[in-house]
Structure 1
């Protein structure tokens, strides 16, 4: 098996930035929901019940600024806003899938389960 990184490196700025971005509270959950097919603000809000409107809006703006999510205003009555992953965001699918499988194995009942 090949090594995923050079263990001689003491600090990797690109890795640090990626982990900080994806690891921000709610970012990974939002990305996962977009991978699962959610596209509208209300769908994301319903899928993540503990997430506040303010935090969802802030995280979507950050993910858009990072080039991971696009925001499209659909000219309809009422006006609709849709979110989608960019190629950069969709490129996280394998990572999010592996992390989801790991979480299911080690935390099947949530974070309070003793390991």
Structure 2
């Protein structure tokens, strides 16, 4: 895991809030989405791009690299032409599966409420 870049008074990782530790690993706009799709099995880079065309190639690359660096996903490079690269969850990454599935369930259950709140807030900002 990476060390967070917060003020000098920030406690060491051993004293950090457990929720913050989790968010250090899965925080980021696309990491949860990436992990959700990897629960079903290996994915190639372009599969992620097809599933979520609004994510830029650069951002997808950065998020995949961070997840790989943190030991959550494995990157398998096949020596062929053109090169083939597949991403999969590591054993450590599989420990996040219940969290990701609970996030999915919460999103399904509360999607309409969240969307309604966002629309209301945007309408108020436009006034």
TM-score (norm 1): 0.80
Q: Which runs of 5+ in 1 are unaligned?
A: 1-10
Give the aligned length: 104
Number of the residue aligned with 2:115: 112
Q: Provide the alpha-carbon RMSD of the alignment.
A: 2.0
Q: Which residue of 2 aligns with 1:66?
A: 70
Deviations 1:35-78 (A, max 9, x none): 12341001111111211100000000000000001111111221
Higher helix share: 2
Q: 1 or 2 for the larger relative contact order (CA 8 Å, sep ≥6)?
A: 2
Q: Deviations over 1:9-52 (max 9, x none)?
A: xx744431212331211111111111123410011111112111
Q: CA deviation at 1:99?
A: 1.1
Which runs of 5 or more residues in structure 2 are unaligned? Answer: 1-14, 119-127
Verify the 8 A CA contact 1:22 1:28 in the aligned structure 2: yes
Between structure 1 and structure 2, the one with the greater Rg is 2
State the match for 1:102 in structure 2: 106
